[in-house]
């Protein structure tokens, strides 16, 4: 399981700010946590649910809390967060970061937009189970 801190540090790394080479200040971590919480709340409102624990306000929650985000969604979250963090850090993201963030976001959005599978009724015809017939469809 990825923690919020790990996601944030991965986003910093995507911007070329490795935690071992650059001391990330507590204020920067808190700001990144607020942006991460805000981004994930926005995504949730759009139907993108990836197991991230939502909080009541952007600055709530512990940075070391684990998330239930699957590995397949981590890259999209980290690169999207990097794109949001870059201006406040005075960084210009690599063009590939922007492409990866956009593609990852679109993939998650498309996955969220898939219609649920329709279950076939086990009721026999005539027992309240209506079949769609051509004569009921009007052009």
Residue 119 lies in a domain: no
Q: State if pTM tops 0.75.
A: yes
pLDDT in tens, 44-73: 999 999 999 999 877 678 999 999 999 999
Residue 122 lies in a domain: no
What is the reported pLDDT for 21? 47
Domain of 105, CATH number, reads: 1.10.3230.20
How many domains, the chain?
1
Mean pLDDT for the chain overall: 85
What is the reported pLDDT for 118? 59
> What's the full length of the chain, in residues?
139
Residue 133 lies in a domain: no
Residue 96 lies in a domain: yes
Residue 135 lies in a domain: no
Domain extent for 108: 4-113
Is the CB of residue 62 less than 8 Å from the CB of residue 86? no
By the 10 Å C-beta count (0-12 exposed, 13-18 middle, 19+ buried), 111 is classed as middle
């Amino acid at each position: 399981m990825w923690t919020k801190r790990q996601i944030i540090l991965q986003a910093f790394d995507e911007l070329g700010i490795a935690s071992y080479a650059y001391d990330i200040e507590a204020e920067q971590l808190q700001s990144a946590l607020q942006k991460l919480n805000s981004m994930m709340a926005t995504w949730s409102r759009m139907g993108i649910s990836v197991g991230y624990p939502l909080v009541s306000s952007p600055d709530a929650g512990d940075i070391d809390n684990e998330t239930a985000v699957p590995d397949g969604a981590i890259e999209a979250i980290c690169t999207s967060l990097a794109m949001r963090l870059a201006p406040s850090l005075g960084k210009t993201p690599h063009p590939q970061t922007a492409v990866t963030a956009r593609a990852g976001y679109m993939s998650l959005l498309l996955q969220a937009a898939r219609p649920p599978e329709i279950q076939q009724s086990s009721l026999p015809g005539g027992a309240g189970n209506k079949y769609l017939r051509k004569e009921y469809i009007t052009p």
